[in-house]
Structure 1
């Protein structure tokens, strides 16, 4: 007769994970197929707030889905009360908890075209900045100026993790600065970009 309780063998996010996406679906894998029991299953923030969730089981995997996005830079704890999950013989799990912390890292520029301090840039070049994660519009304070301070009319556009800047044709043999001001874009967690800039110089013709 089976008298062995199921035990957690893996979790996503892992225990004490950081920079977890705010839309993360939380899973816990057990040592054998499971079903819901009588105890409570909760997701609680560090302030004690109870998060609304849905629960589902597929074989050995318990899935917890928050009904709304979690808050950024916040510690959460998944709590499975003793008996909240059992195996098919009715053996209950022991009490279990697993903390994790949501994303607090701003998006980071990882590539730019034209690259920093590039020379002989075509006058009709489309200017792009690639980030390490998907980005979203915030205040969109993006500027393109000559080194002497003359502003250029631009149309910034976001495509996934790339910020594109369309503009009227640039002047030849001119040094420009592209500036992405603090808070112009954000990531999915709402973390705002910190100020970023780079120079480039156009071709003679």
Structure 2
């Protein structure tokens, strides 16, 4: 008598003992089929044992996958998702497991495989966005605790895409946009802030524009502070991961640009004419023999509000225009005034001094102001145009000031 061991099953054969009455034992394979073929994995065999032993039914069953997470053909899978493959019984890694994790283009993905109970865990670094992946467990890469190996198994899934912009208002390269426009950028799903410092709002010279922002559902709202200048191109840049969806998936870089409207009005008083933004207001008055023209935005008022002030004063009796220009060139400024630049320019065919300085004097202003002063002497009168704004806002409103300077005419 001898025994043959196949996959842990002892099968007893009888030889040389005469006529032995025996009863059949049925071995059932993984698929539950039965038959009389020789015993081997994936097949069924009927063998005989002596009748004086009890009939024994022996099952040889390979471990099978019960569920996968992500499920087969799943989409919008997080890029940091650990893959869990659950089997029908406790398992272990095979002696030489062959597990493949790769993109649908065949690029291998580094991973670490561990087993806990009946679950295989496949961990990895963050995957690519919007990419399809395949996982293949080759035969015997996983076995049950008795060493019986699994058959070939594969699954696949696709990762989530990054949140993307579906519209912006103003649209890209839009023109004639009101200077009080709130910029709205809409995404394909609900969003939240990521790296909010990665939100950039600049004018055509690259100067940062102060703003506040809010998020409502899938929309980012950007409100400029103060109002935008007229006839200027502005750009909004959302850098990578500055905005993310609610699952933490960050955007790639996005930018849009637009140009504000150029609509002006004209004021004429005291022999002076200039254009100014249509949304501004002007006022004229006379104080102690000095004629004054004020221009400012009615929505931006207060002690530190950006504004333009034209002063027209008669020169002292007997002083020539050249002498008046000489005195302007040698003007000294009181404490708290700091001259940044001074140059001689030509405006409307007449020479003028263009001086830029800051004012840090709490008696007049509660914050540091910047002032561009244009001084012109003509017909025994001195015309001084002061263009004033807080230092932090000056570059933004400078384009509005430029409308006044470029259109200035003195009769």
For the criterion TM > 0.5, the same-fold answer is: yes
Q: 1:132: how far off?
A: 3.1
Q: Do the aligned residues in 1 keep the contact of 2:200 with 2:238 (CA within 8 Å)?
A: no
Asked if residue 30 in structure 1 is aligned to residue 87 in structure 2, the reply is: yes
Q: Do the aligned residues in 2 keep the contact of 1:42 with 1:79 (CA within 8 Å)?
A: yes
Query: Within 1, Cα distance between the matches of 2:197 and 2:252?
Result: 10
- Written as runs of structure 1 = structure 2, the 5 A alignment for 1:1-205 is 1=58, 3-37=60-94, 38-66=96-124, 68-106=125-163, 132=190, 136-137=194-195, 140-143=198-201, 153-154=210-211, 185-187=242-244, 188-192=248-252
Query: Within 1, Cα distance between the matches of 2:158 and 2:83?
Result: 12
Query: Within 2, Cα distance between the matches of 1:134 and 1:23?
Result: 19
1:186 to 1:83, Cα distance in 2 relative to 1, 3 A: farther
The corresponding residue for 1:113 is none
Q: 1:90: how far off?
A: 1.5
Q: 1:27: how far off?
A: 0.7
Which structure shows the higher helix fraction? 2
The corresponding residue for 2:45 is none
Query: Within 2, Cα distance between the matches of 1:193 and 1:104?
Result: 14
Query: Within 2, Cα distance between the matches of 1:11 and 1:189?
Result: 23
Query: Within 1, Cα distance between the matches of 2:151 and 2:196?
Result: 45
The corresponding residue for 1:200 is none
1:43 to 1:3, Cα distance in 2 relative to 1, 3 A: same
Which of the pair has the greater relative contact order for Cα pairs under 8 Å at 6+ separation?
Answer: 1
The corresponding residue for 1:122 is none
Deviations 1:143-192 (A, max 9, x none): 59xxxxxx96136699xx99898987x79xxxxxxx97565635455543
Query: Within 2, Cα distance between the matches of 1:83 and 1:134?
Result: 46
Deviations 1:90-127 (A, max 9, x none): 22111011111111141689xxxxxxxxxxxxxxxxxx
1:7 to 1:140, Cα distance in 2 relative to 1, 3 A: same
Q: Do the aligned residues in 2 keep the contact of 1:107 with 1:186 (CA within 8 Å)?
A: no
Query: Within 2, Cα distance between the matches of 1:41 and 1:133?
Result: 37
Q: CA RMSD in A?
A: 3.9
Query: Within 2, Cα distance between the matches of 1:15 and 1:157?
Result: 39
Query: Within 1, Cα distance between the matches of 2:223 and 2:251?
Result: 25
Unaligned runs of 5+ in 2: 1-57, 167-185, 203-207, 228-234, 257-298, 300-411
Q: Do the aligned residues in 1 keep the contact of 2:162 with 2:250 (CA within 8 Å)?
A: no
SS at match of 2:79: coil
Q: Do the aligned residues in 2 keep the contact of 1:186 with 1:193 (CA within 8 Å)?
A: no
Query: Within 1, Cα distance between the matches of 2:66 and 2:191?
Result: 30
Q: 1:47: how far off?
A: 2.0
Q: 1:31: how far off?
A: 0.5
TM-score by length of structure 2 reads 0.33
TM-score by length of structure 1 reads 0.61
Larger Cα-atom Rg: 2
